[in-house]
Amino acid sequence: MSFIVKYRSHTSGGREIVRARTMDKDILKIGRGAESDIVLSDLGVTLHHATIRRAGKTQITLETEKNLPVTVNGRSTTRADINAVRGGTIRIGPHRLIVAMGDGEDEEGRIAITIDREEVADNIKAHRLFSLAGTVPGKRISAWTFAALVLVSCLALPIWSYYSNKGVEQRADGFHADTLWVSGSMSDAHANLANDCQACHVDAFVSVRDSACLDCHTDIPDHAEADQMAMSEPEFGLGRAFLRTVSMAFNRPQRSCASCHIEHEGAGEMAAAPQQFCADCHTGLDTRLTDTDILNAHDFGRDHPEFRPRIMTRPADETGMARYRRVSLDDGPEENTGLKFPHELHLSETNGVARMAQRLSDEYGFGAALDCADCHVPTADRTRFEPISMEANCQMCHSLAFDRIGGTIRTLRHGEPEMVIADIRAFYRGTAPRRPIDLSGMERRRPGDNSRAQTVGRYQFAARTRYARADDAIRAVFSRDGACFDCHEVERPAARASLAFDITPVRQISRYMHAGWFDHAAHETEECGTCHEASTSEEASDVMLPGIETCRECHAGGTASGDEIVSTCAMCHSYHADEAAPYLVRARNNRGQRPRSVRDYGSLAINPRQDR
């Protein structure tokens, strides 16, 4: 035994819609409750209003709950028997239930109950008593009203507000309708322009022009020549080409300031350009710019060339200018700074240098041996290191003392070869000095120095060597094992008999990566030897920079896993061709953050010191 329950409704155009459901049971509950078999949604129907029981193949019995009256075939009753063959009609509130035998092939032997809802005037009035339909305007009127309200409040008023404040340098405090168009708060860098929209948005419905940016940022250089940047761009796919067309249609040209520096993304730092912005051009760059020496790069962790530092190949030529060349670390570059300095000798823990450090430990704070920090002092911004100087770093061991007058020690003048020669000649008073000059005794201290000649590492020093003539003393100072020769490149005079010795100027490189940025402050928790192999360097010409594989031990590319650091292009490279730190470094400097470890790559440095 089963019933077929059909819900019948009509569209606004009069089309009939029937939803049928088969119920294999003998008892059907009728009511407003969700658990009812026949649900009649109307407040005039109780949760359980009536029950239909099947009394035979074609007979049903209707009984109401709590003696609630219903209309059966035009008569009000609380109980009725209905023969489905003859048919019958049950009215409960605005709903009409038509009882009949199923007439389809799938409905044979089943009793069909079809439910209609009659929207008679009284029922409509009753329905509106319990809804907003009788209070608010109709849907069409409401739609047009809200559309007009949106146009006035979000278009007309903002346009009026914009033009009424045009030319005003600083708006008055309070609400301005055109701020409804603002998509978000200004970044910290431009927060002072929050009430001066027209400082950037000069024309309505026109993207911010580069000229508006350059009014303030007057010293920002271009990334490259405009024609080179245009040639370096690859052919984009259909999707990105479409986005470019849309951008141009809305007055936002390509390669503009606003295409990279996006504002109104919320307070805080302005977001750096995504890595893809750089990779678009620098991936396969050599195929589009055939005359460039810039190597292809896509991702630091997967596709980045070996570092090419700017190496000094000669500290000065005949014009006094130093010579530089960019060389890949894969090619084993050697530099010439004009200085002779073996790191391996000075970092030894067992030789004479170590013993000297122990003797001077109370005075200068050395340990059992010298280490990197004894000579390399960070700059105030902790980005790089102060230049090494004779006075601050060397003279405590390598004294230039040559005479004592009472309690005063006379020293040769470091960095002034002409004065060294003049001081020696003055000491000898022509050809009849009071005593021979002593260039290794007095207060002159050297690692391993004692009363005899000793060998320290690869160097032999003569102790208490005296010279009877000024010319011999001058030659000794500028010759092998002499005070100047041991550390400097001596330029000998052209004439053999001449004593016009000179010293090749020393140039200390403070920044090797001029196309990139490295910040020691962010790595201050690491040991120097982690990256720099100074303890095994026997020549001053060694370039002790770590290769890219050393950096990749901590730094990944655009994506990272585990303890790796996400390292995008903006972390080390500045888009604009200037000497400033890249954006991510400057952003953390603006927040006043101090790096705590190698994994916090922020920096306090924004003004790098130039090579001298």
Could you read off the pLDDT of 197-237 as tens digits, one per residue? 888 888 877 888 888 898 888 888 888 888 888 889 888 88
Reported as a pLDDT band with limits 50, 70 and 90, residue 333 is very high
Question: Which candidate, 386, 418, 388, 409, places its Cα nearest to that of 484?
Answer: 418
Asked whether residue 451 carries a pLDDT value surpassing 70, the answer given is: no
Q: Write a three-state SS string for 224-238.
A: CCHHHHHHHCCCCCH
Where do the domains of the chain lie?
Answer: 3-133, 339-375+389-507
Q: Kindly indicate whether the domain formed by 3-133 is annotated with CATH number 2.60.200.20.
A: yes
Side-chain-side CA neighbours of residue 399 (13 Å):
19
User: Which one-letter DSSP state was computed for residue 14?
Assistant: -
Residue that the structure tokens 């980005």 belong to:
383
In this predicted model, what pLDDT tens digit does every residue of 95-124 receive, in sequence order?
A: 999 999 988 777 788 899 999 987 654 555
Asked whether residue 599 carries a pLDDT value surpassing 50, the answer given is: no
Reported as a pLDDT band with limits 50, 70 and 90, residue 609 is very low
In this predicted model, what pLDDT tens digit does every residue of 19-51 receive, in sequence order?
A: 999 999 999 999 999 999 999 988 889 999 999
In this predicted model, what pLDDT tens digit does every residue of 160-205 receive, in sequence order?
A: 888 887 777 677 777 888 888 888 888 888 888 887 888 888 887 7
| DSSP states of 242-291 | HHHHHHHHTT--TT-GGGTS---S-SSSPPPPPHHHHHHHHTTGGGT-TT
CB of 77 closer than 8 Å to CB of 94: no
Higher pLDDT, 319 or 388: 388
Which SS3 state, helix, strand or coil, does residue 481 take?
A: coil
| Distance, CA of 471 to CA of 450 (rounded, Å) | 26
Q: Which amino acid type is present at position 44? A: G
Question: Which candidate, 381, 387, 385, 377, places its Cα nearest to that of 595?
Answer: 381
In this predicted model, what pLDDT tens digit does every residue of 461-517 receive, in sequence order?
A: 333 345 668 888 899 899 988 889 989 999 999 887 788 999 988 888 888 998 888
Which SS3 state, helix, strand or coil, does residue 571 take?
A: helix
Residue 49: burial class (beta carbons within 10 Å; 0-12, 13-18, 19+)? buried
CB of 516 closer than 8 Å to CB of 573: yes
Reported as a pLDDT band with limits 50, 70 and 90, residue 537 is very high
Question: Which candidate, 401, 478, 390, places its Cα nearest to that of 437?
Answer: 401
% residues pLDDT > 70 (the chain):
85
| Distance, CA of 108 to CA of 329 (rounded, Å) | 91
